[in-house]
């Protein structure tokens, strides 16, 4: 009996020790957790030169929120979508992420983003969601999955000194052919060594899937009354452009290379922020360029002395049209800190951030857009934004925008490099998009 009682005592003391120990560990852990900072990851996709100040904006958020620590990440546009989808699929990824206008709906459909409506009701945006442009691009089934953050379009940028030197008065934006004539006039062999050292027009003509050629092609075909995707009155989808119209665009842009108005090295350039384009315009190797405002700002930073300005893209037979693109901020479905992530998202959209830190970009809020005063060099962008259209039709069409984007760039570059004739490439492009449409319809 005595032996049993000793054993019992031992058992009870062991159990008590374990319970007390566990309680202490838990208590210490909870105390530690209550003091531990919430760590958020914020990811953006622009190169550092196009996003100067964003890290400072994040640092101020950190200072204002002692219990939150934000890790600032940069993933290039070319990898951003793939990387996020891969991460989202395995329960990882940034808490707050930057998306392109054209990606948000696809990401929402894939179930990777948080529906923001409840957060907007609980912790409203200062000017309300109605204050933002292009909200529909981030909507799915009445739910809002992304807050438009910045907005922009592409414009023609040019050297005023070269125009004056060539005696050109006014910008040739009345037609594409007039634009080319002037570009040709601006192409010069300054030192007369037989090699051109001032090209008329520089644009990203590469075949890469995220290259800038896509925008220029769309501006051209839209201005002539065509569009890649068109929805009929009965709701069916089809192509709003034919091989003949594509061939016209290919012939037009290819002539810049054939007539040496643009250097062939541009066929290897996808990114509109490529150093060759930025420094080429800043240095004076190019008389005109094609770029968004943040790249234009980089030109001015590269050579503050360069007398540069921006102008509208040329008008076509029907109209003048550019795209209203931009960035969206969204919250990853896998975030463990929803409230804090929303807090950060709201901060990044705030007037203070755009006024103090993120000055290269135009805010996507009407109120802020009205408040900002732009220098005369931004004239082209200011004129174009009201005429711009979003890619909404493409986004809601069965074919993914990225597929059309990649195919277009590839076929145009195939012409520039001499790999395909204009006839073959234009027919191939139409056939490939048609096949993609048929496949998408059959899948749905």
Partner 1 sequence: MSGARVRWRKAGGLHGARFYGYTLVLPAIALLIFFFFIPSFYNVELSFHKISLFETVRGRGKFVGLENFAKLIRDPEFYNALKNTTFWLTGATVGLRLLLGFVLALLLNSTALKRWRLADVGRILVFIPWGVPPVVAVTIWKWMLHSRYGVVNLIFQRLGLIQQPIFFLTDTSVVWISIILVIVWRELPFAVVTFLAGLQSIPQELYEVARIDGAGWFHELRYITIPLLKPVITIVAFMITIWTFNNFVYVWLFTRGGPGNFTHVLGTKVYFESFVNYKIGYGATFGVIMTVIMMVFALVYFSTLFKRSVNV
Note the residues at the interface with partner 1 (CB under 8 A): 82, 85-86, 88-89, 106-107, 109-112, 194-195, 206-209, 263-265, 267-268, 270, 276, 285, 400, 402-403, 406, 410-411, 413-420, 425, 443
Which residue, 52 or 268, is less far from partner 1 as judged by CB?
268
Q: Which residue number, 60 or 276, has a Cβ lying nearer to partner 1?
A: 276
For residue 181, the minimal CB distance to partner 1 (Å) is 24
**Shortest Å distance, C-beta 98 to partner 1:** 18
31-64 burial string, b = 16+ CB within 10 Å, else e?
eeeeeeebebbbbbbbeebbbbebeebbeebbee
Least Å distance, CB 6 to partner 1, is: 37
Measured from the CB of residue 81, what is the shortest distance to partner 1 in angstroms? Answer: 8
- Closest separation between CB of residue 375 and partner 1, Å? 30
Q: Which is nearer to partner 1, 207 or 360 (CB)?
A: 207
> CA 335, CA 440: separation in Å to the nearest integer?
31
Closest CA relative to residue 113, chosen from 133, 78, 72, 141: 141
We find the least distance from the C-beta atom of residue 444 to partner 1, in angstroms, to be 12
State how far the alpha carbon of 61 is from the alpha carbons of 11, 328, 343, in Å. 53, 19, 9
Can you name the residues that pair with 331 across neighbouring β-strands?
A: 96
Shortest gap between Cβ of 318 and partner 1 (angstroms)? Answer: 29
Nearer to partner 1, 131 or 270 (CB): 270
Do the strands 96-100 and 38-44 form a parallel or antiparallel pair, or are they unpaired? parallel
What distances in angstroms separate CA 441 from CA 102, 221, 229, 434, 438, one per listed residue?
A: 20, 24, 13, 10, 5
Give the nearest distance from C-beta 361 to partner 1 in angstroms.
Answer: 26
Instruction: Say which residue the tokens 């490939």 belong to.
Output: 432
**Looking at beta carbons only, is 152 or 270 nearer to partner 1?**
270
User: For partner 1, which is the closer residue by CB, 270 or 343?
Assistant: 270
Cβ closest to partner 1, residue 84 vs residue 357: 84
Q: Which is nearer to partner 1, 308 or 429 (CB)?
A: 429
Select 28 or 419, whichever has its Cβ closest to partner 1: 419
Provide, rounded to whole angstroms, the least separation between the CB of residue 366 and partner 1.
31
């Amino acid at each position: 009996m005595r032996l049993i009682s000793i054993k019992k005592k031992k058992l009870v003391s062991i159990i008590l020790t374990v319970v007390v120990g566990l309680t202490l560990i838990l208590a210490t852990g909870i105390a530690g957790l209550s003091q531990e900072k919430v760590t958020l990851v914020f990811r953006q996709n622009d190169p550092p030169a196009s996003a100067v100040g964003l890290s400072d904006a994040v640092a101020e958020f950190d200072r204002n929120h002692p219990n939150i620590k934000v890790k600032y990440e940069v993933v290039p546009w070319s990898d951003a979508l793939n990387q996020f989808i891969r991460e989202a699929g395995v329960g990882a990824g940034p808490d707050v992420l930057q998306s392109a206008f054209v990606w948000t709906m696809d990401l929402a459909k894939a179930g990777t983003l948080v529906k923001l409506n409840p957060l907007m009701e609980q912790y409203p945006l200062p000017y309300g969601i109605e204050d933002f442009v292009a909200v529909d691009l981030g909507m799915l089934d009445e739910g809002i999955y992304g807050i438009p953050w910045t907005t922009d379009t592409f414009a023609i940028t040019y050297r005023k000194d070269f125009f004056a030197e060539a005696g050109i008065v006014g910008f040739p934006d009345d037609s594409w052919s007039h634009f080319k004539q002037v570009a040709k006039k601006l192409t010069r062999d300054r030192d007369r060594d037989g090699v051109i050292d001032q090209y008329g027009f520089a644009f990203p003509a590469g075949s890469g899937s995220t290259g800038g050629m896509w925008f220029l092609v769309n501006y051209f075909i839209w201005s002539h009354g065509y569009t890649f995707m068109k929805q009929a009155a009965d709701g069916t989808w089809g192509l709003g452009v034919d091989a003949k119209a594509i061939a016209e665009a290919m012939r037009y842009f290819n002539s810049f290379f054939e007539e040496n108005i643009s250097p062939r090295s541009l066929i290897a350039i996808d990114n509109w922020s490529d150093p060759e384009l930025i420094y080429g315009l800043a240095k004076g190797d190019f008389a005109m360029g094609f770029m968004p405002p943040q790249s234009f700002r980089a030109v001015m930073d590269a050579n503050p002395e360069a007398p540069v300005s921006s102008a509208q893209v040329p008008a076509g037979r029907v109209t003048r049209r550019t795209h209203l693109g931009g960035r969206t901020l969204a919250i990853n479905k896998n975030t463990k800190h929803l409230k804090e992530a929303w807090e950060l998202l709201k901060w990044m959209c705030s007037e203070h951030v755009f006024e103090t830190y993120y000055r290269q970009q135009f805010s996507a809020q009407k109120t802020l857009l009205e408040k900002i005063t732009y220098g005369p060099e931004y004239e082209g962008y200011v004129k174009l934004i009201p005429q711009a259209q979003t890619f909404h039709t493409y986004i809601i069409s069965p074919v993914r925008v990225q597929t059309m984007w990649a195919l277009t760039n590839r076929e145009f570059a195939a012409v520039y490099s001499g790999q395909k004739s204009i006839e073959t490439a234009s027919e191939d492009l139409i056939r490939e998009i048609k096949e993609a449409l048929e496949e998408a319809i059959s899948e749905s």
